[in-house]
Amino acid sequence: MATNQETVESLVNREYKWGFVTDIEADSVPAGLNEDVIRLISAKKNEPEFMLEWRLSAYRHWEKLEKTSAEPKWANIHYPPIDYQSIVYYSAPRTKDNPKSLDEVDPELLKTYEKLGIPLREQELLSGVAVDAVFDSVSVATTFRDKLAELGIIFCSFSEAVREHPELVRKYLGSVVPYTDNFFAALNAAVFTDGSFVYVPKGVRCPMELSTYFRINAQNTGQFERTLIIADDESYVSYLEGCTAPKRDENQLHAAVVELIAHDNATIKYSTVQNWYPGDKEGKGGIYNFVTKRGKCLGKNSKISWTQVETGSAITWKYPSCILMGDNSVGEFYSVALTNNYQQADTGTKMIHIGKNTRSTIVSKGISAGRGQNTYRGMVKISKNARGARNYSQCDSLLLGDKCGAHTFPYLEVKNSTAQVEHEATTSKIGEDQIFYFRQRGLSSEDAVSMIVNGFCKQVFRELPMEFAVEAQKLLGVSLEGSVG
């Protein structure tokens, strides 16, 4: 009753503990965007001519979009107009060029990663997770390179890939997300500064999880990374991505692009735990996470599986999708999105069925607390030739308190009569009677909410690699702390 409201509200309010700033000298270009800035970025990165040309075409396209106000407005999110001329498009820790080993990496940087709980050195030695760390815009260290190289696996920063494997980059860059795809994809293509690149050759099963850690540090910078993963025939790779940012009063823009390509019988598993700074309790500050992620199941029997746990960011706009071109290819999307305080999320997926007997699964779990607004937006498209295509979608929403919102927009477009498409949706609320039941059995309100929320998300957590699942569970606990009490 009266106290119930407080109960539900107070469980959501814990401090963001990754909000520190690293004092490190940065090499930045002045704020603003024009062709000169793009030429400068490209020059700083010693890029071949084709990259510069691609960036410039993207920029010109974006400029047109900007002039015609083509920034997407259809999502269920609200924010003041972004001044794209006030953003710094390139910021790099001033350090020795291309560290050959961790010993050459600025110790301040390594300390930052330690604070974040990812000691690179330890990771390298103990855990068998290969890590690429992107700090502001530049990839600082990639561990385990040599071991992977023996198998022919390329795992490096995007800049390096552009220089050392230009033929691969040229072949695949923009092949899944062309720069004409959308406003933010165009912006990213013009100004992206780094990211990760993975190529797994034919018949190779990548023996360890590959992992990238993104960190925005400098003020007023945008982070525009680009990830490209190619799994050749009969190969397998599991890739993890994590992110944090310091606390800032201003909003910061993060507009990334991820492209995945799976050839015949190849599998790519892509897991994200997104914990960008969400802003404070009044909704001040936080990251705008406007991201385009898409995978192409190019080959027959290929599979792409997205798993995401989205707890951070002031605004999340993100639809990791699969284009199922190869016959019998499989697309999966497992998502937990949590919005608390004034966070907004409009997230979901697109499953585009083109090949025969293609299958897709969508499991989306949205949790809204505080004044958070959580939207699932998904499209399942079965094209004319996709005989025997099947889709199963499940969208569940959980509400904590009565000031938050959950919204579901599933779009279905079916052009082949042999298709089977199923959609299930539920909305539930953590009730005072449930919390009392837990308390009467000796468990605190916090335990109650955390058990209910974790139970709600179990189906998605199961898809995460072990270490990540544990981290995700903790993160949910932290993000909800104080929303009940």
Structure tokens at 149: 């190289």
Residue among 276, 456, 461, 468 that touches another protein (CB under 8 A) = 456
Shortest separation between residue 448's beta carbon and another protein, angstroms: 9
| Min CB(434)–another protein separation in Å | 5
Of 13-21, 187-195, 258-266, 438-446, the segment contacting another protein by CB under 8 A is 438-446
- Say if strands 344-353 and 373-382 run parallel, antiparallel, or are unpaired: parallel
**Min dist. Cβ of residue 20 to another protein (A):** 33
Cα 54 from Cα 43, distance rounded (Å): 14
Assess 432 for contact with another protein (CB under 8 A): yes
Of 156 and 337, which CB lies nearer to another protein in the complex structure? 337
Distance CA 446, CA 443 (A): 8
Question: Token pair of 115, please?
Answer: 């604070």
> Binding segment for another protein among 22-30, 104-112, 431-439, 468-476 (CB under 8 A)?
431-439
Quickly count: other Cβ atoms within 10 Å of residue 83's Cβ.
Answer: 9
User: For residue 85, what is the DSSP state?
Assistant: G
Nearer to another protein, 187 or 476 (CB): 476
Judged by CB under 8 A, the number of residues near another protein is 27
Q: From the list 420, 451, 462, 467, which residue makes contact with another protein (rule: CB under 8 A)?
A: 451
Tell me which of 431, 462, 470, 474 binds another protein, using CB under 8 A: 431
Task: Confirm or reject binding of residue 447 to another protein (CB under 8 A).
Answer: yes
Which residues, numbered 2-31, are part of the site for another protein (CB under 8 A)? 2-4, 7
Binding-residue pattern over the window 389 to 428 for another protein, x denoting contact by CB under 8 A: ---------------------------------------x
Helix (H) or strand (E) holding 310: strand 303-310
Residue closer to another protein by CB (options 87, 448) is: 448
CA atoms lying within 13 Å on the CB side of residue 30 = 3
Q: Specify the DSSP class assigned to residue 394.
A: E
Spatial distance between the Cα atoms of 34 and 191, rounded to a whole number of angstroms: 10
Q: Does residue number 466 form part of the binding site for another protein (CB under 8 A)?
A: no
> Do 250 and 218 form a contact (C-beta atoms < 8 A)?
no
DSSP calls for 400-422: -SSS-EEEEEEEEEE--TT-EEE
Contact 222, 252 (CB under 8 A): yes
Q: Which of 13, 436, 465, 477 binds another protein (CB under 8 A)?
A: 436
Binding status of residue 462 toward another protein by CB under 8 A: no
Interaction between residue 439 and another protein (CB under 8 A): yes
Q: Which is nearer to another protein, 409 or 438 (CB)?
A: 438
Least CB distance to another protein at residue 451 (A): 5
**Short-list 420, 265, 406, CA closest to 339:** 406
Told to check if 429 binds another protein by CB under 8 A, we report: no
Candidates 66, 300, 434, 465: give the one binding another protein (CB under 8 A). Answer: 434
Instruction: Pick the closer one to another protein by CB: 388 or 485.
Output: 485
Q: For residue 389, give every residue at least 6 positions away whose Cβ sits within 8 Å of its Cβ, in sequence order, or none.
A: 324, 353, 356, 357, 358, 359, 382, 416, 418, 419, 420
The 3-state secondary structure of 456-468 reads HHHHHHCCCCHHH
The region of 225-233, 240-248, 320-328, 441-449 touching another protein under the rule CB under 8 A is 441-449
The residue from 437, 462, 467, 470 that contacts another protein (CB under 8 A) is 437
Please give the span between the terminal C-alpha atoms of the chain, in angstroms, as a whole number.
14
Residues lying near another protein in the complex (CB under 8 A): 1-4, 7, 428, 431-434, 436-445, 447, 451-452, 454-456, 458
